């Protein structure tokens, strides 16, 4: 057996880059992904990386401020990690550019779609873009000239695009914004002989740079983008209303310190140096890139061809066999627990449940936790309707859900104005659980109906996130979930619960107990097996226990979509741990925990990954799957995902993202499509 030390754990940020590489692999997958979908994966990669620099790299920068003696004591090496991140990202960016230029652009041309640069315009197109520039772009431009020897640094807005313009007179630098936040990034030009033409507004502006600086001789034009710290540093969190503090401090997002300056790699070293000095950016924060930045705009890249073959084939929506035609959800759920699976089924089942409750004369209370509130939707409409009808509505809104703070708080205030009891974030703890409780008078007593899911109450994300949710009228589960809401409401300090796993109270110790029980079974020569699906694995105590279980002979099968600090498949340490990651059409977001338990299987779904924050610093809820049919359905789904041999990558010590090899005569299993087929059969 290998003795544990810090070398047995991966650094989460370095391994996260391995996850983002898997997104690049999807952009390269010509066999399974049509060209527009591969373009979207490039957009996903870019968006992921932006957030990574704004949050994770920003935190590493903060660690650099900690005294060196303290960093050494805590085994913190932020400088080393940032350098490794930069090296890996640079390699991935080069690969990114090759995918875009050598694969995507040529395939678009093959399908009669041409992405034109400023050098490609013919005379007719020049006239067209000239008219577009005058009518749509010019009014949004901000043109500035700055002296290079000035003592004041120029401020670039977070995530905004600019042209950096160098003149023959090196004592000045010009800046022009690219207003992609105000107008569409791409425009479709006139069609010609069934050929379609699209161009960036960047290129249109590029053709006008000389006339924007009429008194200068332009010698170089390069696109740049600044990313800034996304964290909100709040002092004295315990004072005042936390939601108000967050709302007031959102402007810091646009004024935070630089975490990355992305610039065109063709820029000369001398120009890079003077730009860095002018913007007051450190060397480690300079990142060379391609000609264009902000590839997240490619989510809205137009398709003038209307060719359906360039996109994923639309999947029909599976109708839930019990809920689809139910006119009384309370009766249907009383009779039997019901599982729903997104995006294969519609989120409308959840919305209809709340809508029915809002008008049901016997419903007295609706309680819900909202982590990311959607824009106006059937769910928010139903909650407002419930208030109109005199229901008691308690809504917990997580004001600290990163990048959704403003929208969450805005909706919280709307609900408050209509009479809801709205509770906002607690200091130093997030409420990440996806829980709904509806209380109804039946035979003179209140009965609890619950919905507990792995994903947000958000119809939009339910179409792209792969999640699960349980409807239940189980009395024990309903009673315990009501206690959780009483904790959120401040009536209880600790919820007593035997069935639900609730962080930070019982989740960690219950999982530890179940792992130790599997270890005991292995020692007794019994079958010992754990199967887990989650987004991220970072908690060292849980990893240490999994290593111990592996060393004792417990068979551990893991699906981890994102990053992992556990190193699987190491002889003497984790040789009984086999881990894969599935990336495909939908974002795998569901958490499933399955313990063999000597034949008396335990199966849970919920909102918690095995990260320290999810176990110790967040309110999380996981629910046991008790109903036999629901348990068999969920186990079958987990089996399909575990046996994926199309989109599964093996996670090993090399971190090379090798695809699972499929035997020549093996059945092809692309799990997301196989799950669709399975559910369609189950619910027909």
Judge whether 589 is annotated as a binding position: yes
Kindly give the interhelix angle for 405-417 and 378-388, rounded to the nearest 10 degrees: 20
Burial class from Cβ neighbours inside 10 Å (0-12, 13-18, 19+) for residue 416 reads middle
Residue 164 makes CB contacts below 8 A (sequence gap 6+) with 173, 174, 175, 221, 222, 223, 224, 263, 267, 271, 275
Cα 657 to Cα 45, 642, 646: the distances in Å are: 16, 16, 13
Which residues, in sequence order, are bridge partners of residue 263?
224, 288
Residue 226 φ then ψ, to 5° = -105, 130
Instruction: Pick the closest to residue 113 from 213, 39, 25, 181 (CA basis).
Output: 39
H runs (alpha helix) in 207-258: 209-212, 242-249
Contact yes or no for 225/262 (Cβ under 8 A): yes
Six token digits for residue 344: 């294969």
Cα 362 to Cα 337, 441, 443, 479: the distances in Å are: 21, 5, 10, 18
**One-character DSSP codes across 145-177:** EEETT-SSPPP--TT-EEEEEEESSTTEEEEEE
Judge whether 61 is annotated as a binding position: no
Judge whether 523 is annotated as a binding position: no
Q: How far apart are CA 438 and CA 670, in angstroms?
A: 37
Residue 410 makes CB contacts below 8 A (sequence gap 6+) with none
Signed CA dihedral, 129, 130, 134, 140: sign only:
positive
Q: Are strands 113-116 and 195-200 parallel, antiparallel or unpaired?
A: parallel
Q: How far apart are CA 156 and CA 143, in angstroms?
A: 13
Angle ∠(75,232,275) on CA atoms, nearest 5: 80
Other C-beta atoms within 10 Å of 388: how many? 11
Q: How far apart are CA 599 and CA 475, in angstroms?
A: 25
Q: How far apart are CA 311 and CA 90, in angstroms?
A: 29
Residue with tokens 């646009």: 254
Six token digits for residue 161: 């695009």
The active-site residue, picked from 196, 206, 293, 432, is 432
The yes-or-no answer on residue 311 being catalytic is no
Judge whether 561 is annotated as a binding position: yes
> What does the buried/exposed string (b/e) look like for 58-68 if buried means 16 or more CB atoms within 10 Å of the residue's CB?
bebbebeeeee
Residue 605 makes CB contacts below 8 A (sequence gap 6+) with 452, 453, 454, 468, 470, 590, 591, 592, 593, 622, 623, 625, 634
Q: What is the largest CA-CA distance in the chain?
A: 86
Q: How far apart are CA 137 and CA 131, in angstroms?
A: 10
CA dihedral angle for residue 494, residue 496, residue 498, residue 500, rounded to 10 degrees:
-50
Signed CA dihedral, 291, 294, 295, 300: sign only:
negative
For the chain, the residue count is 684
H runs (alpha helix) in 348-461: 348-359, 378-388, 405-417
Judge whether 578 is annotated as a binding position: no
Q: How far apart are CA 165 and CA 170, in angstroms?
A: 10
Q: Say whether 406 sits in a helix, a strand or coil.
A: helix
Judge whether 320 is annotated as a binding position: no
Contact yes or no for 675/559 (Cβ under 8 A): no
Task: Tell me the binding residues for Mg(2+).
Answer: 372, 402
Task: Tell me the binding residues for ATP.
Answer: 48, 465, 561, 589
Task: Tell me the binding residues.
Answer: 48, 372, 402, 465, 561, 589
Catalytic residues: 432
């Amino acid at each position: 057996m290998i003795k544990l030390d810090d070398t047995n754990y991966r650094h989460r940020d370095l391994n996260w880059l391995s996850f983002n590489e898997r997104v690049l692999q999807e952009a390269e997958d010509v066999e399974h992904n049509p060209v527009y979908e591969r373009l979207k994966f490039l957009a996903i990669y870019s968006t992921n990386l932006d957030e990574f620099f704004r949050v994770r790299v920003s935190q590493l920068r903060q660690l650099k401020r900690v005294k060196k003696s303290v960093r050494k004591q805590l085994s913190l090496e932020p400088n080393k990690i940032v350098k490794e991140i930069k090296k890996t990202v640079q390699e991935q960016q080069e690969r990114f550019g090759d995918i875009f230029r050598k694969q995507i652009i040529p395939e678009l041309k093959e399908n009669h779609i041409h992405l034109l640069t400023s050098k490609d315009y013919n005379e007719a197109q020049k006239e067209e873009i000239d008219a577009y520039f005058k009518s749509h772009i010019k009014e949004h431009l901000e043109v500035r000239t700055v002296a290079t020897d000035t003592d004041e640094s120029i401020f670039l807005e977070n995530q905004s695009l600019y042209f950096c313009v160098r003149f023959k007179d090196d004592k000045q630098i010009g800046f022009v914004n690219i207003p992609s936040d105000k107008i569409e990034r791409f425009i479709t030009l006139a069609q010609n002989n069934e050929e379609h033409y699209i161009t960036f507004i960047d290129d249109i502006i590029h053709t006008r740079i000389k006339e924007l600086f009429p008194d200068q001789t332009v010698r170089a034009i390069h696109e740049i983008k600044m990313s800034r710290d996304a964290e909100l540093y709040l002092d004295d969190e315990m004072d005042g209303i936390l939601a108000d503090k967050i709302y007031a401090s959102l402007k810091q997002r646009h004024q935070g310190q630089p975490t990355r300056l992305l610039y065109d790699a063709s820029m000369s070293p001398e120009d890079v140096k003077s730009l860095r000095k002018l913007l007051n950016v450190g060397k480690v924060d300079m990142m060379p890139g391609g000609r264009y930045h902000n590839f997240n705009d490619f989510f809205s890249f137009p398709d003038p061809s209307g060719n359906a073959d360039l996109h994923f084939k639309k999947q029909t929506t599976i109708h839930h066999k019990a809920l689809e035609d139910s006119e009384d959800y309370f009766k249907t759920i009383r009779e039997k627990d019901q599982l729903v699976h997104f995006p294969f089924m519609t989120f409308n089942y959840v919305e209809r449940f709340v809508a029915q409750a809002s008008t049901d004369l016997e419903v007295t209370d609706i309680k819900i936790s909202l982590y990311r509130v959607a824009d106006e939707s059937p769910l928010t409409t139903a909650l407002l309707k419930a208030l109109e009808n005199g229901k008691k509505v308690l809504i917990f809104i997580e004001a600290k859900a990163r990048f959704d703070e403003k929208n969450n708080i805005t909706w919280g205030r709307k609900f408050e104005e209509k009479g809801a009891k709205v509770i906002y974030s607690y200091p130093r703890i997030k409420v990440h659980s996806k829980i709904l409780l509806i209380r109804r008078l039946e035979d003179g007593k209140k009965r609890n109906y619950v919905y507990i899911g792995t994903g947000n109450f958000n119809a939009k994300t339910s179409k792209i996130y792969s999640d699960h949710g349980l409807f239940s009228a189980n009395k024990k589960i309903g009673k315990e979930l009501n206690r959780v809401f009483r904790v959120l409401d401040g009536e209880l300090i600790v919820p007593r619960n035997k069935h639900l796993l609730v962080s930070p109270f019982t989740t960690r110790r219950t999982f530890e107990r179940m792992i130790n029980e599997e270890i005991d079974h292995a020692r007794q020569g019994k079958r010992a097996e754990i199967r887990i699906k989650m987004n991220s694995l970072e908690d060292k105590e849980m990893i240490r226990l999994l290593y111990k279980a592996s060393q004792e002979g417990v068979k551990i099968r893991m699906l981890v979509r994102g990053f992992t600090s556990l190193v699987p498949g190491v002889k003497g340490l984790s040789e009984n741990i086999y881990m894969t990651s599935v990336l495909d059409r939908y974002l795998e977001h569901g958490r499933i925990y399955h313990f063999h338990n000597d034949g008396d299987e335990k199966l849970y779904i919920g909102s918690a990954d095995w990260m320290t924050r999810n176990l110790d610093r967040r309110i999380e809820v996981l629910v046991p799957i008790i109903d036999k049919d629901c348990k068999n359905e969920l186990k079958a789904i987990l089996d399909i995902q575990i046996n994926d041999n199309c989109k599964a990558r093996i996670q090993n010590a090399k971190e090379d993202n090798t695809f699972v090899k499929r035997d020549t005569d093996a059945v092809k299993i692309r799990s997301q499509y196989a799950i669709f087929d399975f559910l369609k059969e189950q619910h027909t």
